[in-house]
Amino acid sequence: MRTIRVAAAQSGPIQKAEPRDDVVRRLVALLEEAARRGARLVVFPELALTTFFPRWYMEEETDVLAWFEPSMPSPTTRPLFDRARELGIGFSLGYAELTPEGRRFNTSILVDERGEIVGKYRKIHLPGHVAYDPDRAFQHLEKRYFEPGDLGFPVWRTLGGIMGMCICNDRRWPETWRVLGLQSVELVMLGFNTPSVNSQDSAEGPTQRLFHHRLSMQAGAYQNATWAVAVAKAGVEDGHALMGGTLIVDPNGEIVAESATLEDELVLYDCDLDACRFGKQTIFDFARHRRTEHYGLITSRTGARPPD
Amino acid sequence: MRTIRVAAAQSGPIQKAEPRDDVVRRLVALLEEAARRGARLVVFPELALTTFFPRWYMEEETDVLAWFEPSMPSPTTRPLFDRARELGIGFSLGYAELTPEGRRFNTSILVDERGEIVGKYRKIHLPGHVAYDPDRAFQHLEKRYFEPGDLGFPVWRTLGGIMGMCICNDRRWPETWRVLGLQSVELVMLGFNTPSVNSQDSAEGPTQRLFHHRLSMQAGAYQNATWAVAVAKAGVEDGHALMGGTLIVDPNGEIVAESATLEDELVLYDCDLDACRFGKQTIFDFARHRRTEHYGLITSRTGARPPD
């Protein structure tokens, strides 16, 4: 048994006007409660420091940049790092990253129990669109404000296991999970902000969207024999509902813990990383079963194309 | 609307001693009932003509070859083709294929409404093992009796849609679905024989195995916005239980029809192939969202390898 107690630290809504240091205080409170309850790793949501700003159409560069973090840790986020180091607890955190060169990414970092940033992931599967779209019930402008991640899907040996990260829409793409699985990942951390209604189909509401979320998480975990932790920002932000659905999935694809609210809430579970072994050594022993000679289209073709 | 009424024709068990022409009579009866009920396409299981013989360890080549079909159609299977042509109904059928060169594959063919074989798929993801394994509760010798398929994952324009096939264990591999999805597949046909208990873990019984089956089918359909039809051989064969679980999944990943027995049984559904369009044009518009530059490991690495 290599058991690590993981806390999925769901955030309730963060309103547009909420100052970032208030948000950090909420995250620190969750971190402290997680530590009190024995967690060694706390997973925070995607873009955990602000409202989900890609719902707002902005033309002015300065309006956009106001949502971004030019450094990490920063004066505002430093208290989270300090408290985690004092408590000897690791965490992952999503935020809008502005690089020194002015590039913008939807990023997640992994911080170990000494408070060191040991991993960084930049979201690869950006959903949504670039230009204002009058046909949508609301905007989803991730492709406007971020460029696709340029770091691939790395894994890290830390906190006693092989850890991976991805962000929100990445979970719907089996390529994400497989690239992590091919690196023997044992625990995948994912933060998300998912609207309760499909902006392009108002009939697709929270029941169907939670189903798709669970389905993607469970399939990704099962088919790669890994733990998976999905952490929502939830509830009504700026008048727009986020569906919630924080959960932890075991390497068999079973949901073992799930949030009960749309507020700040911890979901804890003791994840035995050795539970990944049976799947990785039998039905998903890739070395014995995968046939890469037939997978060529996955990397050689981007878009779908029907047969002639 | 491009609606095709599909019949998933589950087979109850076929015992080792059951003559193949008796089996074909059962298949013809299902075909006729499907036609009466308005189906235009009937999907039969994997290795639909015999018991699931890979559970039996055989050393003698002649014992093995007795389970194989050197031609298709053959005198024994001809009545199925003839009746389908008379009724103007297409079907897919799984069988053990022996080629003129003596190669052996776990194969599925697609027959159109004129009784012509228009497609052939040879199973790529063979589960199980090559040599007798005394540590298993029972044998699963697909890797002994078959070589991996050499035809890739083709799709065919027929019966009014873009059709694909895969077989049993292929459904657990997202690569299968993605290669089909990249060819704009609209309906995936899959036959299977899945034991009710994991031969390497007796604690993994039918509840968990049906869960994995549904999860794989639903995720594959959703993530590629395609219909999917999974057809079981079910019930107790040669004293060994097969779990059943014939089902039809819509392009949203929802199960819309499912079998109720472990016997010969039809599961029918009107599949509107145009229902694939919304997913293919929005969240799974591959051309806009896939980032193949980060998928390289999927084709360049076969087995999993942990980081240094």
Q: What is the pLDDT of residues B33-43, one digit of tens each?
A: 999 999 999 99
Q: What is the mean pLDDT of residues A254-272?
A: 98
- Flag if B124 and A294 touch (Cβ within 8 Å): yes
Q: Which of A288, A300, A305 to mutate to test the interface with B (most CBs of B within 10 A)?
A: A288
Q: Report residue A178's pLDDT band, with 50, 70 and 90 as the boundaries.
A: very high
Q: What is the mean pLDDT of residues A267-290?
A: 98
Interior/surface letters B104-134, b for 16+ CB within 10 angstroms, e for the rest? bbbbbbbbbbebeebbbbbbbbbbbbeeebe
pLDDT at A134: 95
pLDDT at B179: 98
CA distance B258 to B223: 20
pLDDT at A61: 95
CA distance B226 to B6: 14
CA distance B75 to B97: 15
Q: Report residue A156's pLDDT band, with 50, 70 and 90 as the boundaries.
A: very high
**Chain B: nearest CA to A4, how far in angstroms?**
19
Which member of A295, A303, A306 has the closest CB to residue B175?
A295
Residue A46 designated active-site: yes
- Taking domain A3-300, whether its CATH number is 3.40.50.620 is answered by no
pLDDT 10s digits, A199-222: 999 999 999 999 999 999 999 999
CA distance A134 to A56: 13
Q: What is the mean pLDDT of residues A98-116?
A: 97
Average of per-residue pLDDT values in chain A: 97
Closest residue by Cα to residue B235 from B69, B37, B45: B45
* Active-site residue (options: B166, B168, B271, B276): B168
Sites in chain B below the pLDDT cut of 50? none
pLDDT at B259: 98
Q: Report residue A287's pLDDT band, with 50, 70 and 90 as the boundaries.
A: very high
Question: Which residue from B minimizes the CA distance to A294?
Answer: B152
CA distance B65 to A251: 39
- Flag if A252 and B208 touch (Cβ within 8 Å): yes
- Edge-to-edge strand ranges of the sheet holding A255-258: A155-158, A161-167, A187-192, A227-232, A247-249, A255-258
* Active-site residue (options: B46, B97, B186, B237): B46
Residue A123 designated active-site: yes
pLDDT 10s digits, B147-165: 999 999 999 999 999 999 9
A165 φ, ψ to 5°?
-135, 150
Q: What is the pTM of this model?
A: 0.98
- Flag if B212 and A172 touch (Cβ within 8 Å): no
- Flag if B175 and A294 touch (Cβ within 8 Å): yes
* Active-site residue (options: A97, A142, A166, A168): A168
- Flag if B215 and A211 touch (Cβ within 8 Å): no
Taking a C-beta distance cutoff of 8 angstroms, is the pair A172, A212 a contact?
yes
Return the number of CB contacts < 8 Å for A and B.
Answer: 201
pLDDT at B32: 98
Per DSSP, the three-state class of A212 is helix
